[in-house]
Structure 1
Amino acid sequence: MIIVTRPSPEGEVLTTQLNQANFPAIHLPLFDITAGNDLVNLQQQLNQLLPLDIVIISSPQITYIIKNNLANLSLPKHVRYFAIGEKSAKLFGQLTKQSISYPEQENSEGLLQLLAHESLKNHNILILRGNTGRQLLMESLTLQQAKVKLIECYRRQPITYSNNILANNIDKQIIIVTSIENLLQLETYCQIAHKRQVNLIVTSERIFSHAKQLKWQKILLVASAHNQDLLTAIRRFYPNYGDNKLLKTTS
């Protein structure tokens, strides 16, 4: 069974795509997404931005939470918008009706490379994010003398399952993890056998490194968290689902 841990609604979409492609999959989100503590003040923060200041959208969840909670949010036209990845850019672009830049390497490191060509000194930068993450982004931009604020637009609330939710057919499991937070939460439900036998699919070098530190033995790194890229990778590396010769071992 392929277990999709990414939150709604992307998790359900990927699960449906996998099932339609004849890969048995279930959606097992590890977090609920709720409104963040800073969301109520987001309009005020945006109103204070000056020309050529920057807004960074860290994930698709930013757009989903704004649509559900701030339908009348007014987004300034005089600032520069950047996103971590293409999906985040396209979704937020529907709100702003403006061009949103994003890096080819869809992570914090890639965005920092893209921002290296921008004027940052003394400019305000709002990083729209969840209740954790993007510390590297904040620290690196601060070192470049930008005035950086982390804006908690949403919160991840852990979902509680029975401790043995993943206990059956461990050697036949593929688990998809798209954030470090999900990887760490996965520890709650994993046994030593999982780390030896399960095929773990991750979507960034940082998640890959953390998984190795946590002693996962079979890790497939997919360069993008796009659902279509994940589906393509599964078709490529697991065409005969269950054939252990196709696994990438990191031990």
Structure 2
Amino acid sequence: MIYVTRPSPEGEMLTQLFNQAKVPAQHLPFFNISQGHDLLNLQEQLNQLLPNDIVIVVSPQVTHVINTYLSNLILPANLRYYAIGKKSAQLFSQFTTAKVNYPNIENSEGLLTKLQQEPVQHHTILILCGNSGRQLLAQTLTNRKAKVKSIACYCRKPIHYPPNILSSNMEKQIIIIITSLEHLIQLELYSNLEHKTRATLVVTSQRIFAKAKQFKWQKILLVNSANNQKLFEAVTVNYGMTK
């Protein structure tokens, strides 16, 4: 059984990919996503930016909440736009004719590597994100003398499950897909030593990998992307689930 912990709708989409391939998978989201407290001020923040300032989109959830709560958003064309990954870039492109760039390695580290080629000093950078997370981006860009503002476009609210939600399935091979540090921390509420010895974690960045090691997980597969198709391919190929 594969457990997909990422929120809706991306979590359902990845679960569906596995199920269509006849691979048993269950969506077990750790967070509900709702409107963030900074979302209604997003247009004002964008209007204050100067030419060649930067906007960074951290996940598909940013576009999902904008479509739901702020569908009349207007993005200036004279800014530089970046996304953590291809899916986030594709979704966000619906709001602008400007190119939304993304790195080959689709995580925070990959984006920071791409931004090393870009002038950021004294530019304002808006990071469109959730109510927590992506501190690495903000801190690193601040260290490069950028004026960084994190805009909480969406809010994560933990979903609470019975403490034994995973324990009852330990007789089966379990793969748990984790796409953020926040998800890994929530997983700790439902994990025991047997999970950490027998189950395999699939994680999407070196930071999550390092934290999982710190939490004593024994089997960890690092996939340098939270793209659903890449996660699907990595899991099915590495664990012999393809025909």
TM, length-normalised to structure 2: 0.96
Aligned-residue offset at 1:146: 1.2
Structure 1 counterpart of 2:13: 13
Amino acid across the alignment from 2:161: Y
Amino acid across the alignment from 1:56: I
- What SS does the corresponding residue of 1:3 show, helix, strand or coil? strand
TM, length-normalised to structure 1: 0.93
Alignment of 1:87-166 (within 5 A): 87-166=87-166
* Counterpart contact for 2:34–2:155, Cα < 8 Å: yes
Structure 1 counterpart of 2:206: 205
Aligned-residue offset at 1:127: 0.6
Structure 1 counterpart of 2:49: 49
2: CA distance between counterparts of 1:222 and 1:111?
Answer: 15
Structure 2 counterpart of 1:195: 196
Aligned-residue offset at 1:240: 5.4
Are residues 1:182 and 2:208 paired? Answer: no
Alignment of 1:6-85 (within 5 A): 6-85=6-85
- What SS does the corresponding residue of 2:100 show, helix, strand or coil? coil
2: CA distance between counterparts of 1:240 and 1:40?
Answer: 44
Aligned-residue offset at 1:169: 2.6
- What SS does the corresponding residue of 2:167 show, helix, strand or coil? coil
* Counterpart contact for 2:6–2:29, Cα < 8 Å: yes
Unaligned runs of 5+ in 1: 242-251
- What SS does the corresponding residue of 1:73 show, helix, strand or coil? coil
Deviations 1:80-121 (A, max 9, x none): 111111111111011213211111121222212211222212
Unaligned runs of 5+ in 2: none
- What SS does the corresponding residue of 1:82 show, helix, strand or coil? strand
Cα gap change, 1:136 to 1:240, in 2 (>3 Å): closer
2: CA distance between counterparts of 1:237 and 1:120?
Answer: 39
Aligned-residue offset at 1:145: 1.4
**% identity of equivalent residues:** 58
Structure 2 counterpart of 1:232: 233
Cα gap change, 1:70 to 1:240, in 2 (>3 Å): closer
- What SS does the corresponding residue of 1:106 show, helix, strand or coil? coil
Structure 2 counterpart of 1:219: 220
Cα gap change, 1:194 to 1:117, in 2 (>3 Å): same
* Runs of 4+ that moved beyond 2 A: none
Aligned-residue offset at 1:200: 1.2
Aligned-residue offset at 1:223: 2.0
